[in-house]
Amino acid sequence: MKHLNAIIFGVAIIIAANFLGSAYVKRSNPARVISITGLGNENFTSDLIVWEGRFVAFNTVLKTAFEQLNNDKEIVRDYLVSKGISPDNIIFNSVQTIEQRDNKYENGNFVGTIFRGYELSQSVQIESSDVALVEKVSREITELLNKGVQFNSSPPRYYYTKLSDLKIKMISKATEDARIRAEKIAENSGGTLGDLITARMGVFQITGQNSDEAYSWGGAYNTAAKKKTASITMRLEYKVK
Has residue 17 got a pLDDT over 50?
no
Q: How many domains does the chain have?
A: 2
Q: Domain check: are 147 and 57 in the same one?
A: yes
**CB neighbours of 81 closer than 8 A, spacing ≥ 6?**
87, 90
Distance of CA 222 to the CA centre of its chain: 6
Average the pLDDT over each of 60-64, 132-136, 183-187, 229-233 and give the range with the smallest value: 183-187
Indicate the pLDDT class of residue 137, thresholds 50, 70 and 90: very high
Average the pLDDT over each of 77-86, 122-131, 181-190 and give the range with the smallest value: 181-190
| pTM, two decimal places | 0.78
Per this entry, what is the length of the chain?
Answer: 241
* E strands present in the chain: 32-45, 48-59, 90-92, 96-106, 109-128, 150-153, 157-159, 193-201, 205-208, 227-240
Q: Domain check: are 76 and 118 in the same one?
A: yes
Q: Domain check: are 151 and 139 in the same one?
A: yes
User: Region 158-174: what's the mean pLDDT?
Assistant: 94
Has residue 15 got a pLDDT over 50?
no
- The domain boundary, picked from 158, 184, 203, lies at 158
- The domain boundary, picked from 129, 158, 187, lies at 158
**CB neighbours of 125 closer than 8 A, spacing ≥ 6?**
50, 51, 52, 90, 91, 93
> To the nearest whole percent, how much of the chain has pLDDT over 70?
87
CA 193, CA 215: separation in Å to the nearest integer?
Answer: 32
Q: Domain check: are 181 and 219 in the same one?
A: yes
CA 209, CA 214: separation in Å to the nearest integer?
Answer: 12
Q: Domain check: are 111 and 82 in the same one?
A: yes
Answer whether residue 171 is part of any domain. Answer: yes
Provide the domain limits for residue 209: 31-45+162-240
Distance of CA 68 to the CA centre of its chain: 39
pLDDT of residue 44: 96
pLDDT of residue 30: 53
- The domain boundary, picked from 158, 193, 227, lies at 158
- Do residues 169 and 95 touch, judged by C-beta distance below 8 A? no
Answer whether residue 72 is part of any domain. Answer: yes
pLDDT of residue 201: 92
Return the HEC string of 125-171.
Answer: EEEECCHHHHHHHHHHHHHHHHHCCEEEECCCEEECCCHHHHHHHHH
Indicate the pLDDT class of residue 10, thresholds 50, 70 and 90: very low
Q: Domain check: are 202 and 230 in the same one?
A: yes
Indicate the pLDDT class of residue 1, thresholds 50, 70 and 90: low
pLDDT of residue 111: 81
In eight-state DSSP terms, residue 211 is -
CA 172, CA 232: separation in Å to the nearest integer?
Answer: 10
User: Region 232-239: what's the mean pLDDT?
Assistant: 93
- Please write the tens of the pLDDT for every residue from 192-220: 888 999 999 998 999 999 888 777 777 88
- Do residues 34 and 237 touch, judged by C-beta distance below 8 A? yes
Q: Domain check: are 182 and 153 in the same one?
A: no
Indicate the pLDDT class of residue 5, thresholds 50, 70 and 90: very low
Q: Domain check: are 194 and 97 in the same one?
A: no
- Do residues 198 and 219 touch, judged by C-beta distance below 8 A? no
